[in-house]
Amino acid sequence: MNEFTIDQVLIHGLYGDLLLCTAKASNVQYIIKQMNTRMLETNDDEASENGIEKELQAYALIQCATTSTAKKGANAIVGLVDSFTEDGYVHLVLEYCVQGDLFEMLQNSPRELFYWDDAQRYFDQIAHGVAFLHNECGLAHRDISLENILVDDVGDCKICDFGLASIDCKRETRPVGKRYYMAPEMYSDDGYDPMAADVWALGVLLYMMHTGLPLVEKAAISDRIFAYIQTHGLRAMVKAWRVQRLVPMQALDLLENMLIIDPTQRMTMADVVRHPYVASPLFA
């Protein structure tokens, strides 16, 4: 850490800190994520689910896929600049995205929603990033949300925070992520496909960019909006809740196929990036 000046402690956590730092040699700012190495050795579920170990494994796969061939989606991932262990802490030196996250940007936007062209441009970048993770890296993110999409100085989106990633994409049993974005199958005792769960979460993110509202409080039958969608379909819900004017037809068609309750019938990310909303938007 002698090579860096700490500008600000962004988060002080149980397992480590998130720091905004400046490299002394280059005067470039970075985010440094720290974690106590003792937490990497514990068998505690919470520590393992929030650790740097999965981030390191995820970035190893990302960097391998990025260097093997040029991929459009690789540019939509927050870059890992360096990693090192010092004074009992593992440090990840990460690209700093100066505009913050999409959740903050959405809150600060007029009417707390994005213009159609901005929402489409952001989604195009994010979707290609998630498709890259799934199809080239073989990993699922499992915590896709507006808070985990950062925006750099030129307005490009970057996916961050791989601490909950499913590295081998086997069937998972533990529900993780933020409640608004969690797929309905995550509440099942039968486990879930983490890639299909990512598609659901990304659909929720798209819905929120256009409406400024979460889709449901919880994707379970106890939630009245979810129950309405299950009975009548997403398009009927959008009309009944009077938000249809906020969602362009291309986006609504895509959402209907991403937010299918049965994960085996849901779009894959390969399908998502081929959809006209991404491939040939009307308002780009």
Residues 57-91: tens digit of each pLDDT: 999 999 999 876 657 899 999 999 999 999 999 99
Q: Output the pLDDT for position 170.
A: 87
Q: Output the pLDDT for position 272.
A: 98
pLDDT of residue 47 exceeding 60, the answer is: no
Query: pLDDT-derived band of residue 13, with 50, 70 and 90 as boundaries?
Result: confident
pTM: 0.94
Residue range 186-192: mean pLDDT, rounded: 93
Q: Output the pLDDT for position 15.
A: 76
Query: pLDDT-derived band of residue 38, with 50, 70 and 90 as boundaries?
Result: confident
Query: How far apart (Å, rounded) are the C-alpha atoms in residues 23 and 42?
Result: 32
Query: How far apart (Å, rounded) are the C-alpha atoms in residues 234 and 226?
Result: 9
B/e letters for 226-237, b = 16+ CB within 10 Å, e = fewer, are: bebbbeeebeeb
pLDDT of residue 43 exceeding 70, the answer is: no
Residues with a catalytic annotation lie at 143
Tell me the pLDDT tens digit for each residue of 92-139.
999 999 999 999 999 999 889 999 999 999 999 999 999 999 999 999
Q: For the chain, give the mean pLDDT.
A: 93
pLDDT of residue 40 exceeding 80, the answer is: no
pLDDT of residue 37 exceeding 90, the answer is: no
Residues in the chain: 284
pLDDT-above-90 percentage for the chain: 83
Tell me the pLDDT tens digit for each residue of 210-246.
999 999 999 999 999 999 999 999 999 999 999 999 9
Residue ranges and CATH numbers for the domains of the chain are 4-95 (3.30.200.20), 102-279 (1.10.510.10)
